[in-house]
A = this chain, B = another copy of it.
């Protein structure tokens, strides 16, 4: 699983708000659609992207599918950003010490 999937999934504003809704409380596709200014298929497509990024999971409940936030995708993203953070800080510190060797 590539971190690019999480980044592209969360890069879209509409997908971010959908994800925020799910993160707030697990909901069905209908509930999500009712809170969005877009069509139901559009929501389903966004959910597909979020799902393949490991950010949400679907559990069938009768005729509905309840989408919940999945920690897995966030964990991957978080790990990547953390290494990024460490490296950038390190590189920043090295650069600063070289600019002002005195």
Contact = CB atoms under 8 A, between A and B. Distances in A.
A95 interface: yes
A87 interface: yes
A13 B4 contact: yes
B85 A78 contact: yes
Given A7-B10, A10-B7, A11-B8, A69 B92 contact: yes
A89 B82 CA distance: 17
A58 interface: no
A89 B78 CA distance: 13
A68 interface: yes
Given A85-B75, A91-B69, A92-B71, A4 B16 contact: yes
* Of A4, A10, A26, A71, most B-chain CB atoms within 10 Å: A10
Contacts of A75: 85
Contacts of A71: 85, 88-89, 92
